[in-house]
Amino acid sequence: MSSKKKQRKIRTEFRKRHNTRARDGDITRQYAREDLEKQELAPQIERVSGKGDLTRKRTVRGAVAADPDSGFDVQLDVDHTLCRPGRVLVVHGLVSVVQDDTGQQFRCAMRRLLKSLSTDQRHVVAAGDRVWFRPTEQGEGFIERVEPRRGILSRTSRGRQQVIVANVDQLLIVSSAAEPMPKPHLIDRMLVTAEKARIHPVICLNKIDLVEPADLQPLMGVYGQMGYQVLVLSATTGFGIDRLQRVLANQQSVVAGQSGVGKSSLLNAIQPDLQLRVRTVSDETQKGRHTTTTAQLIPLQVGGYVVDTPGIRQFQLWDVIPEEVAGYFRDLRPFVSHCRFPDCTHTHEEGCAVKDATADGKLDVRRYESYCQMVLDDP
């Protein structure tokens, strides 16, 4: 019985704004200068500890240690008689749209205690999160708890983790054959993230109607040889849309890529009633214009969900150290164990099997250069 009670009280870290004000360190000198009458008016609730911002821990009642994938150190208890499970469809600033099991949608704010917990994440909730929320009148509510996540697509943003979407099965990496030109290095970074998160990646090359299909072989052939699923598509002509629809059916998917590649156009092609906003590529810069402003969970008529995400121009890896990068490159992995030095970085060492394989034409030069950029953390 006593052990059970201990599990319901967890000491965890909170954000800095919950610190009490540190006591003035010059209070002794002030006492010598001021008269006794003024001293009686001095604050009586200031803490003596001099730790300042270092003291941010508090004891949370009604909580247990959380799964690391939840993003929090603790898992808060909820009253199941007042709360119901739901899934976050979209996040608009401080308000999240949550859908319950019956399909009803609620505009929910975040429980204050949940917002106060210290975390590496820029935002507490993300599209795709499974949550427990307490509904109120007029279709509103409060998110009380975020359930442990799986299949997380995230990146580093301002030194913190930005969770783009959670709880997905596959990642559709959308690029374009032209207008704008493809960014193979961006594709490679997303592939590394998919490998780390154990999400099934699918490479989609849109706008093939703008180029000769044979011109795509040097780029797409490399990914196909590594075993990645590659779809060649055109949202304008409808080429390959049936195949894309079959890939999305009954799956939890996220569509990601740079602006202007046609992510929303492809989703409109497979389900025209979505009527997602689309814009043309800038004639001056040949870059896409941001149309989708926030990640949004969309139910599909063929079953499952798909998340349409804003355009990505930079994708800095989250929680991947340089020593791990080679392990997420399918084409580099077979050569890593043959290097002369066990701690070889595959960038400058003598006797490097990866460099030798690249020189001999066994590895694609562009892929090797992409690996070097990631190791040097050059987005």
Give the pLDDT confidence of 303-327 residue by residue, as tens digits: 999 999 988 888 999 999 999 999 9
Cα dist from 254 to 141, 174, 343, whole Å: 26, 10, 35
- Is 6 part of a structural domain of the chain? no
Q: Which two tokens stand for residue 209?
A: 């109607």
Query: How far apart are the C-alpha atoms of 199 and 218, rounded to whole Å?
Result: 25
CA quadruple 31, 36, 42, 48: dihedral, nearest 10: 50
- Is 14 part of a structural domain of the chain? no
**167, 303: one domain:** yes
**193, 290: one domain:** yes
- Is 87 part of a structural domain of the chain? yes
Look up the domain containing 28 and give its range: 20-55
Structural domain ending residue among the three candidates 278, 308, 338: 308
Structural domain ending residue among the three candidates 117, 146, 175: 146
> For residue 7, what pLDDT is reported?
46
pLDDT over threshold 60, residue 281: no
> For residue 255, what pLDDT is reported?
96
Lowest mean pLDDT among 6-15, 264-273, 354-363: 6-15
**169, 137: one domain:** no
pLDDT over threshold 70, residue 39: no
Query: How far apart are the C-alpha atoms of 136 and 107, rounded to whole Å?
Result: 10
pLDDT tens sequence across 358-374: 999 999 999 999 999 99
CA quadruple 242, 248, 253, 255: dihedral, nearest 10: 0
Report the CATH number at residue 213.
3.40.50.300
Pick from 291, 220, 282: nearest CA to 262: 291
- Is 120 part of a structural domain of the chain? yes
pLDDT tens sequence across 149-158: 999 999 998 8
Query: How far apart are the C-alpha atoms of 168 and 254, rounded to whole Å?
Result: 7
| DSSP one-letter string for 97-135 | EEEETTS-EEEEEEPHHHHHB--SBSSS--TT-EEEEEE
**257, 123: one domain:** no
Alpha-carbon Rg for the chain in angstroms = 26
- Is 8 part of a structural domain of the chain? no
pLDDT over threshold 50, residue 5: no
- Is 168 part of a structural domain of the chain? yes
Report the CATH number at residue 102.
2.40.50.140
**232, 251: one domain:** yes
**297, 219: one domain:** yes
Structural domain ending residue among the three candidates 88, 115, 146: 146
**Mode of pairing for the β-strands spanning 105-110 and 95-100:** antiparallel
**204, 276: one domain:** yes
| Portion of the chain with pLDDT greater than 70, in percent | 75
**166, 129: one domain:** no
pLDDT grade for 115, boundaries at 50, 70 and 90 = confident
Report the CATH number at residue 349.
1.10.40.50
**Mode of pairing for the β-strands spanning 95-100 and 153-157:** unpaired
Query: How far apart are the C-alpha atoms of 88 and 167, rounded to whole Å?
Result: 11
Place of tokens 């859908």: 99
> For residue 291, what pLDDT is reported?
61
Question: Do residues 90 and 78 make contact, with C-beta atoms less than 8 angstroms apart?
Answer: no
pTM of the entire structure?
0.80
**168, 238: one domain:** yes
**177, 289: one domain:** yes
The domain tally of the chain equals 4
- Is 291 part of a structural domain of the chain? yes
pLDDT tens sequence across 144-202: 888 989 999 999 988 888 899 999 999 999 999 998 899 999 999 999 999 999 999 99
**80, 215: one domain:** no
**34, 77: one domain:** no
- Is 48 part of a structural domain of the chain? yes
